[in-house]
Amino acid sequence: MRKLSLEKANKLTYDLMIQGLKNGTYKKIVVLTGAGISVSAGIPDFRSPGSGIYANLQKYNLKRPEDLFTISYFLEKPEVFYEFAKEFDLDSFDATPTTHFFIRLLQDKGLLSMNITQNIDNLEAKASIQDDFLCQAHGSLRNAFCAKCKKEMDFLTFKEHVKAGAIYRCNAAGCGGPVKPEIVFFGESLPKSFFKSMKTVEECDLMLVMGTALAVSPFNQLPFFTSQGVHQVLINRENTNATSVHDFEKGNYRLFVPGNCDDTIRKIVSDCGWEEEFEKVLPEK
């Protein structure tokens, strides 16, 4: 009985997290993000039933939705990804005025150690999150490479080809491989910056996980690399235990805050009394 009540007393609660944010207990915050934080910007995620990208790929006749982003499939049938990319211009979206700018606020307050994101939409840059505080673990839509020989190719030419519905092919002698953006497909390695960012995970004093099913490895291993007992908070529509080994309702140092991340972040900002500072970092209306 005694052990139980002690465990209860030590359990991370929402109020404890707010206290830690307000009184400066947390000084090295690592924020892990996924497609869910960009949903309110208008970009669908992968796995949300009905609205996610995986639920809307019928016309491509794929065996598995993941094929669209799998390197072996791309090398064989690049036209499928090109067709998808033509309908999906990520340049036109803005950072969300709540969740992306909250990460920016943490940066400006000197509390952000690193935002490690699975997103490839570059909305972090649109919220002025600096490169020093950002690790795009699954790459980004900034550069283009040959999927076969890895030669760097011109990104704008890649985009023009996508727009015209034509495959851009590598111009290295004897290659001719299809060119793809520098986003990590299933079957490809993660960038070196991901492995470098592990140090910030090991040293962090709070891990905020937002808008991700934590279903993709090795990204979903990151919560295992914090120091013992470091507070971890999942802000997501669903707990991630259904799709991964993480259950944020279990364990003394883990907390699951269900719901849309923008709503939760708005509440956190208000409960911390940070509204005025937050207003200052938001883009002008």
Among 29, 30, 32, 53, binds ligand CNA (CB under 6 A): 53
| Residue 221 binds ligand CNA (CB under 6 A) | no
Q: How far is the CB of 23 from ligand CNA (least distance, A)?
A: 27
Tokens of 149: 């020989």
272 is in an annotated binding site: no
| Active-site annotation holds for 246 | no
End-to-end CA distance of the chain: 55
Among 179, 221, 35, 72, residue whose Cα is nearest residue 64: 72
Among 136, 226, 232, 260, binds ligand CNA (CB under 6 A): 260
In the complex with ligand CNA, the residue whose CB is nearer, 120 or 153, is: 120
| Residue 120 binds ligand CNA (CB under 6 A) | yes
Neighbouring CB atoms inside 10 A of 12's CB total: 19
The dihedral through the CA atoms of 70, 71, 72, 77 has a sign that is positive
| Residue 98 binds ligand CNA (CB under 6 A) | no
**Alpha-carbon gap, residue 249 to 238, rounded angstroms:** 11
Tokens of 82: 């090109």
Q: How far is the CB of 115 from ligand CNA (least distance, A)?
A: 13
Helix axes 261-272, 14-22, angle to 10 degrees: 50
Which residues here bind ligand CNA, judged by CB under 6 A? 34-36, 38-40, 43, 45-48, 52-53, 118-121, 138, 211-213, 215-216, 236-238, 260-261
Residue list for the binding site for Zn(2+):
146, 149, 170, 175
- The residues annotated as belonging to the active site are 138
